[in-house]
Homo-oligomer: A and B are copies of this chain.
């Protein structure tokens, strides 16, 4: 179930490498990257009956939801029978926010007999082990900034908002919302970075973590070379991610880019640097 971003292609490659048969299902108007040229099932949310049928016809037993999908604008007039039956359940979940909606959607697919696998279940190498992975190491001030940013992300969880924050010298330069981490880092580079209390002081840390209530059947937050580039442009000291809660794409290039820029990447367990 392929959405935006590089994760679906990455997973497809990993799964193909494991010798598994992979089919990409793409929402109409949201074609995913498909560098492996895998078979594709296109679908519309209005025609869930058709989607379930096509998945079964392709022999699909397990589903991985990977990559973001914009909330589609629905055309109720073209609902098939299945979508019509499921609509009240989805619409009622939508009132509870994105997490509740996603949970309802996953429950529906499971109810249709498909097993849901998280991306990090099928490609466990995506989750780096705790520790500092780069030549640069976080200093005491960076550790404090990371801890503060982690508290902010945790507080936001109650409101079903983003999964990242940038803190420098103890102050919150930016908090992630719908536009995502890259947009937040661009905002720090262009505007918010000038608000560091001491221009010559600690540069600040990007922290990313999963929302505590997040359904682990879907993809965890991700960092990769794009995140490193954004953090460098924002002038940060480094990136801290919650251990076991954030995936790293293209690990070799991500770490090489960070090392080249003198940035640290710290897979952070609660507590100090480990």
Q: Which residues of A contact B (CB under 8 A)?
A: 70-71, 73, 94, 97-98, 151-152, 154-159, 161-162, 165-166, 170-179, 183, 186-187, 191-192, 194-195, 197-198
Contact = CB atoms under 8 A, between A and B. Distances in A.
Given A158-B158, A171-B178, 18 more contacts: A73-B198, A94-B170, A97-B170, A98-B171, A152-B161, A155-B156, A155-B157, A156-B156, A156-B175, A159-B172, A162-B175, A166-B177, A172-B177, A174-B179, A178-B195, A179-B195, A187-B187, A187-B191
A230 to B, nearest CB: 13
A183 B43 CA distance: 39
A251 to B, nearest CB: 28
A191 B197 contact: no
A98 B197 CA distance: 12
A196 to B, nearest CB: 9
Contacts of A151: 159
A44 to B, nearest CB: 16
A192 B183 contact: yes
Contacts of A162: 172, 175
16 contacts: A151-B159, A152-B161, A155-B158, A162-B175, A165-B177, A171-B178, A173-B177, A173-B179, A174-B179, A177-B192, A178-B195, A179-B191, A179-B194, A179-B195, A183-B191, A186-B191
A197 B70 contact: yes
Contacts of A71: 171, 197
A68 to B, nearest CB: 11
A70 B169 CA distance: 12
Given A155-B159, A186-B191, A197-B73, A175 B173 contact: no
A171 B178 CA distance: 7
A109 to B, nearest CB: 21
Contact of A156 (B152, B166, B173): B152
A247 to B, nearest CB: 22
Contacts of A70: 197
A157 B158 CA distance: 11
> Which of A155, A162, A173, A198 is the most central at the interface, judged by chain B CB atoms within 10 Å of its CB?
A155
Give 9 closest A-B pairs by Cβ, nearest first: A155-B159, A175-B175, A152-B159, A172-B177, A155-B158, A71-B197, A179-B192, A161-B172, A171-B178
A12 B47 CA distance: 64
Contacts of A166: 177
